Chain A
Amino acid sequence: MTTTTLKQPSKILKILKAIWNGIRRIPAVYFIFFGIFIVLGLLSPTYQSTAGIMAFLRRTSPLAILAIGEMIVLSTGGYDLSIGSIVTMVVLGSSLLLNNDPTMMPTAIWTMLALGLLIGLVNGFVVSYLKIPSFIATLGMMLLVKGGALYWVGGAPRGYLTENWRAFGRGYFENVPLVDRFPYALAILLILALVTYFIYHRSNFGKQILAIGDNVRASQLSGVRVRLVRMIAFVISSLFAVIGGIMIGGFGGVNVTIGEGLEMQTIAACVVGGVLLGGGKGSVMNVVFGAFTMEAIFNLLNLLGLPKPYKDAVQGLIIIAAVAYVALSTRKKK
């Protein structure tokens, strides 16, 4: 051990301590994400280029949007398990409606948004007025929407997705200073994230959402219109699922299983992003990065050349590990 004069170490120590305390307060998800992303960058030059990073962000934006919507419902203490089926409905239905006719694009989009609104309202109604736990209610809705969508298209993909519709998920702004190509999807994500940030963190409505998730009875007795707030939460979740679905259909293909398991991935993204299952706490930016983390994990597995089955297994392990880490770090802070 080197000896130093008494004055200096205490100052340096104080600064170091302050930095360390600051670091400890950063949510775990950022460490996980940047850790994985750095590994990605080391393994493949694509992730070192701006083009590669933009492509990554384009791919991830839909999941992030879904996660933001789901976070709102999770914050009220509920679950929305119907978002996966909504994505399936959006992709299959839009394909059918568009039928390769670009003029149908606005119709397709408005129809889907209207359906999303309806689904959200029904979810909210069932939970608020029929008093059914949202887990079960949205589970029922998931079956309903999935069955309905498949029935509508007759069990197999029909029609064709037009280029202008796919642009939302696929397209880029060209000739953007600094990054050259900026995905539409990312722009949509940023707009939605910003809007949600204000609604969730900086408005009365957002605080009421957290209040309901924390203590619904106290909220009621304090004048919160619980039913209305909850309905709006479910509507936001469904609408975001529709938007996410449009983007997923944009660069993916059309197939009947496109939305399978998405709700689970989304909830996992939220949990990694520090949302408490049971309500009362959440953060827009953290869940966006939670979604980024999930996507980064998938990409890492791809890059490592793991065949698909191993990907699922490792994905499962990582979800467990990530959640455990988040849980442990939140507990330590207390």
Chain B
Amino acid sequence: MTTTSISENRFKRFMRHVNIPPVYYFLVVIFLGGGILDQIFSDGQIFTNQAILLNIIVRSVALGIVAVGQTLVIVGASIDLSVAYTISITAVMSSYIMQGKTENVPLAILVVFGIGILIGLTNGLIITKLKINSFIATLGTSLIIKGIINATFSNYTGSVPKSFQFFGYSTIGPIPVAIIVLILVVFAGWFLLNRTKFGAHLYGVGGNVEVGRLSGLRTDRVVIGAHILCSMSAVLTGLFLVSRLQSGAPWVGPDGLYDLESIATSVVGGTALAGGKGGVWGTLAGVLIFGVLDTVFNQLGMNPYLKTVLRGAIIVLAVASYTYRSKKEAA
């Protein structure tokens, strides 16, 4: 391999640096396939109706924001199963505090982010200090959060003032605010992973924690940091959902399968569960794939349970497209 100097062909260098994750090809295939099915079986509006296209993306925003957080955690060779209930508790608490009044919004936001940081910190500490497997640890905390939610709330609680609903509904020009937020979050995730010391250390710890330790990385802090960021992304998703639903309910998180789907979209997007490789742009593609599928299924008027079936099958197929070629045995 030769080293490059600045005067070399700029385009070539750019193309080499911009690694298009293979999952984007899959996304294109799904999109086109969906479009074709739509033409045949439905009113063929998918490509032409701007509202529908926008809908795909807006549906993806909720999952997308929390998936970025999950990607961070997975890169660090950890996992966060508590995001679903974090989303729920955010939805309920924020809605409860707001009580439909705009002046309560800042307080509500402060409180839920505080809760999110606490959850992330707790997860991180249990995993790093008590040395418990992240699967079990975040499973445990998710149950604790579930208990707390169900002990205090049983149904829709409080309400969201119209002023806050801008998050979920309004647009800046033709583009929904929600999409702008998603892009910002993805970009922030990318920046964090690829341009900061934190990101470099996260890849290090996730790739080989011993190497990280010997290089003097504060391995515990990095993992805790990733978990805090993940919980915060879950909080943001919760705020988005509640601004759309106008009120928060305890089942919002688990119903949307945000825990498993944020993991699935990360893996589909190329982030390995073992840690140390992958990134957020792939996750975004994974999320979009799910969004396209949802919309296509809706257009085709498919039974919601069949949707679940196909979702499961697609996850497997998408990941298979990377892995079947690999020589390594999976576990």
* B307 interface hit (Cβ, 8 Å): yes
User: How distant is A305 from chain B, measured CB to nearest CB, in Å?
Assistant: 14
Give Cα A324 to B308, complex, Å.
Answer: 35
Q: Which residue of B lies closest to A226 (CB)?
A: B329
Q: Are B331 and A134 neighbours in the complex by a CB distance under 8 Å?
A: yes
Q: Are B139 and A134 neighbours in the complex by a CB distance under 8 Å?
A: no
Chain B hits for A226, CB < 8 A: 329
Q: A271-B136, A309-B151, A316-B139 are in contact. Are A324 and B264 (CB under 8 A)?
A: no
Chain B hits for A145, CB < 8 A: 312
Interface 9-residue window, one of A32-40, A51-59, A123-131, A158-166: A123-131
* A140 interface hit (Cβ, 8 Å): yes
8 closest A-B pairs by beta carbon, nearest first, are A313-B147, A147-B308, A316-B143, A143-B312, A309-B150, A144-B312, A151-B305, A309-B151
Chain A hits for B314, CB < 8 A: 140
Give 1 or 0 for each of B296-331: 1 = CB within 8 Å of chain A CB.
000000011111111111111001100110101111
Q: B residues within 8 Å of A by Cβ?
A: 81, 126, 130-133, 135-137, 139-152, 257, 260, 263-264, 267, 273, 303-316, 319-320, 323-324, 326, 328-331
* A78 interface hit (Cβ, 8 Å): yes
Give Cα A148 to B130, complex, Å.
Answer: 40
Q: Are B132 and A136 neighbours in the complex by a CB distance under 8 Å?
A: no
Chain B hits for A313, CB < 8 A: 143-148, 151
Q: Are B309 and A143 neighbours in the complex by a CB distance under 8 Å?
A: yes
Q: Are A139 and B136 neighbours in the complex by a CB distance under 8 Å?
A: no
Those of A223-270 within 8 Å (CB) of chain B: 226, 264, 267-268
Q: Are B132 and A140 neighbours in the complex by a CB distance under 8 Å?
A: no
A-B residue pairs in contact (CB < 8 Å), sample of 29: A77-B331, A126-B320, A130-B316, A131-B329, A132-B320, A133-B267, A133-B273, A133-B323, A134-B331, A136-B315, A137-B316, A137-B319, A140-B264, A140-B313, A141-B312, A142-B312, A143-B312, A144-B313, A146-B308, A151-B309, A155-B304, A277-B136, A309-B150, A313-B147, A313-B148, A317-B144, A319-B143, A320-B137, A323-B136
Q: Which residue of A lies closest to B81 (CB)?
A: A264
Chain B hits for A167, CB < 8 A: none
Chain A hits for B150, CB < 8 A: 308-309, 312
Q: Which residue of A lies closest to B313 (CB)?
A: A144
Give Cα A154 to B311, complex, Å.
Answer: 18
Chain B hits for A310, CB < 8 A: 147, 151
Give chain A's interface secondary structure class. Answer: helix
Give Cα A152 to B6, complex, Å.
Answer: 62
* A48 interface hit (Cβ, 8 Å): no
Chain B hits for A207, CB < 8 A: none
The one of A130, A220, A268, A315 in contact with B323, judged by C-beta atoms closer than 8 angstroms, is A130
| A residues contacting the other copy or chain, number (CB 8 A) | 55
Q: Are A139 and B148 neighbours in the complex by a CB distance under 8 Å?
A: no
Q: A131-B329, A316-B140, A323-B136 are in contact. Are A136 and B305 (CB under 8 A)?
A: no
Q: Are B141 and A129 neighbours in the complex by a CB distance under 8 Å?
A: no
User: How distant is A288 from chain B, measured CB to nearest CB, in Å?
Assistant: 19
Chain B hits for A141, CB < 8 A: 312, 316
Q: Which residue of A lies closest to B328 (CB)?
A: A131
Q: Which residue of B lies closest to A122 (CB)?
A: B316
Q: Are B147 and A268 neighbours in the complex by a CB distance under 8 Å?
A: no
Q: Are B147 and A271 neighbours in the complex by a CB distance under 8 Å?
A: no
Chain B hits for A146, CB < 8 A: 308, 312
Chain A hits for B323, CB < 8 A: 130-133
Give Cα A151 to B260, complex, Å.
Answer: 21
* A279 interface hit (Cβ, 8 Å): yes
Q: Are B139 and A264 neighbours in the complex by a CB distance under 8 Å?
A: yes
Those of A42-90 within 8 Å (CB) of chain B: 76-78
Give Cα A139 to B324, complex, Å.
Answer: 18
Give Cα A223 to B54, complex, Å.
Answer: 54
Q: A126-B316, A310-B151, A319-B136 are in contact. Are A136 and B267 (CB under 8 A)?
A: yes
Give Cα A308 to B146, complex, Å.
Answer: 10
* A177 interface hit (Cβ, 8 Å): no
Give Cα A150 to B136, complex, Å.
Answer: 28
User: How distant is B285 from chain A, measured CB to nearest CB, in Å?
Assistant: 16
Q: Are A324 and B316 neighbours in the complex by a CB distance under 8 Å?
A: no
User: How distant is A75 from chain B, measured CB to nearest CB, in Å?
Assistant: 11
Give Cα A136 to B303, complex, Å.
Answer: 24
Give Cα A307 to B145, complex, Å.
Answer: 15
Q: Are B308 and A150 neighbours in the complex by a CB distance under 8 Å?
A: yes
Give Cα A325 to B189, complex, Å.
Answer: 36
User: How distant is B314 from chain A, measured CB to nearest CB, in Å?
Assistant: 8
Q: Are B147 and A311 neighbours in the complex by a CB distance under 8 Å?
A: yes
Q: Which residue of A lies closest to B153 (CB)?
A: A309
Chain A hits for B330, CB < 8 A: 127-128, 131-134
Q: A316-B147, A319-B143 are in contact. Are A147 and B311 (CB under 8 A)?
A: yes
